[in-house]
């Protein structure tokens, strides 16, 4: 199993490019199931999660073509021969976002058999809101033997209200509603930028959607959708992760093919920590102070501070000047990185969904274990500033969500090596 070896102490400087957003690409690739015409996507990140989803779509009968060379980030999907609306446990267990095929399959085929995703390191991750919404739209849904079985001749528009803000729940129901008979209104909808990127792609395919980006999304069902070409938005969490890595090392970097849009809450906190940040049209620059000032955070749905940046901020607070309080309000078990950071010498005390972090002058390199995608990113940041060598095990977690992480860090001057 691959490991990452980091020699701490290098200031990150220079420039690297940000890839397309994983959490936009995953639902948007599923949108291709809604039409018989080919759909082309550009700026698709080359990640394990994307590869897993494309394998799943191919198993359903979707024709998958991927570009090569300079077009390696281009994917064309042709679902005209879609004949197997099934997502097996073997596929779904490796990538829980596979649940995003449920809504499109029910809308396009009138039926779907999708394995329950099950939990993961950060929480139980139920999908009851996805199911409740489809039932409200007229689908017969049974959950048997670990699978969601949904059936309906044609979904009917309905007024839906999710019990909590759910990103993929909103995305699944929005996609399903595109081909329903009548209007669907999703209240308490997720406002994440990735939901908006999906809506923009669906509208380009002929869907009639208004309100994406607000907490009330209206979808007027149509008979069918057509093909389009859509460019995936930049990955705001990858952007935030590299900003944190540079900030922790007292560095000065420029990130291209991205922007500060959709990162206000994160940028505010980095500026409070003492960083200078300059936004350009499709780039963002950060210059960090010698040592950061500790900043407290509280995660919440967009546009508030994103839960996917919580672990990275625990890492920068571990070496900042002062004490910080970190509150995680979205997932019930998203502090797995804390015990690993403590192995590196971090002073962190956990009390339920609250972590108290007292900054220390130096961390010491050690062998640590990645447990989930963003926890792994926080260990990379800590390894960059720790004294000596840090070895991060189980870095397949990183490969799921960060394209060419080792190369990009090396571009920025980090001393990092992948060990087989």
Binding site for ligand EPZ (CB under 6 A): 23, 26, 97, 123, 125-130, 164, 166-169, 307-308, 330-331, 373-374, 401
Answer yes or no: are the C-beta atoms of 197 and 21 closer than 8 Å.
yes
Give the Cα-Cα-Cα angle 78, 84, 85 (nearest 5 degrees).
Answer: 90
CB of 176 to ligand EPZ, least distance (A): 14
User: CA–CA separation, 76 vs 93, rounded Å?
Assistant: 25
Nearer to ligand EPZ, 66 or 125 (CB): 125
Tokens 């609250």 correspond to what residue? 354
Nearer to ligand EPZ, 240 or 274 (CB): 240
Asked whether the bond before 303 is cis by omega within 30 degrees of 0, the reply is: yes
As measured in angstroms, the least distance from the Cβ of 385 to ligand EPZ is: 22
Burial class (CB in 10 A: 0-12, 13-18, 19+), 107: buried
120, 178, 201, 244: the active-site residue: 120
Q: Which lies closer to ligand EPZ via its Cβ, residue 43 or residue 129?
A: 129
User: Following CA atoms 320, 325, 330, 336 in sequence, which dihedral angle do they give, to the nearest 10 degrees?
Assistant: 60
| Rounded-to-integer distance, Cα 311 and Cα 76, Å | 34
Residue 316 to residue 296: CA distance in whole angstroms: 11
96 versus 108: smaller Cβ distance to ligand EPZ? 96
Nearest distance from C-beta of residue 130 to ligand EPZ, angstroms: 5
Q: How far is the CB of 327 from ligand EPZ (least distance, A)?
A: 14
- Residue 120 annotated in active site: yes
What minimum distance in Å lies between the beta carbon of 94 and ligand EPZ? 13
CA distances from 308 to 108, 241, 334, 369, 394 (A): 32, 9, 10, 18, 19
Determine the distance from the C-alpha atom of residue 29 to the mean position of all C-alpha atoms in its chain, rounded to a whole number. Answer: 14
Annotated catalytic sites, by residue?
Answer: 120
């Amino acid at each position: 199993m691959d490991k990452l070896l980091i020699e701490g102490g290098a200031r990150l400087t220079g420039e690297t490019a940000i890839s397309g957003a994983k959490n936009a690409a995953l639902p948007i690739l599923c949108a291709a199931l809604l039409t018989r015409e080919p759909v082309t996507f550009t700026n698709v990140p080359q990640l394990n999660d994307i590869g897993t989803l494309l394998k799943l779509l191919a198993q359903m009968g979707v024709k998958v073509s991927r570009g090569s060379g300079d077009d390696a980030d281009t994917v064309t999907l042709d679902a005209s021969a879609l004949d197997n609306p099934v997502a097996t446990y073997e596929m779904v267990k490796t990538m829980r976002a596979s649940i995003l095929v449920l809504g499109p399959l029910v809308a396009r085929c009138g039926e779907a058999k999708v394995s329950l995703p099950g939990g993961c390191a950060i929480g139980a991750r139920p999908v009851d809101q996805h199911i409740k919404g489809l039932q409200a739209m007229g689908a017969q849904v049974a959950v048997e033997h670990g699978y969601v079985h949904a059936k309906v001749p044609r979904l009917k528009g309905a007024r839906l209200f999710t019990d909590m803000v759910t990103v993929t729940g909103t995305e699944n129901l929005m996609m399903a509603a595109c081909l329903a008979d009548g209007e669907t209104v999703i209240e308490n909808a997720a406002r994440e930028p990735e939901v908006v990127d999906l809506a923009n792609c669906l509208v380009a395919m002929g869907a009639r959607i208004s309100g994406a980006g607000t907490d009330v999304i209206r979808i007027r069902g149509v008979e069918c959708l057509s093909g389009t070409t859509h460019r995936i938005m930049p990955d705001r969490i990858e952007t935030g992760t590299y900003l944190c890595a540079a900030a922790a090392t007292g560095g000065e970097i420029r990130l291209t093919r991205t922007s500060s849009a959709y990162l206000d809450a994160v940028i505010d906190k980095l500026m409070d920590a003492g960083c200078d940040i300059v936004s350009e049209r499709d780039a963002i620059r950060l210059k960090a102070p010698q040592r950061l000032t500790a900043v407290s955070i509280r995660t919440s749905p967009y546009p508030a501070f994103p839960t996917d940046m919580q672990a990275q901020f625990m890492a920068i607070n571990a070496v900042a000047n002062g004490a910080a309080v970190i509150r995680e309000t979205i997932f019930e078990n998203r502090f797995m990185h804390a015990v690993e950071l403590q192995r590196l010498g971090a002073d962190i005390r956990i009390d339920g969904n609250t972590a108290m972090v007292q900054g220390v002058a130096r961390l010491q390199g050690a062998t640590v274990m990645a447990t989930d995608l963003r926890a792994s990113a926080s260990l990379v940041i800590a390894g960059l500033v720790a004294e000596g060598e840090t070895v991060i095990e189980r870095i397949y977690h990183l490969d799921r969500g960060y394209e060419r992480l080792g190369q990009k860090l090396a571009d920025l001057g980090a001393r990092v090596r992948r060990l087989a």
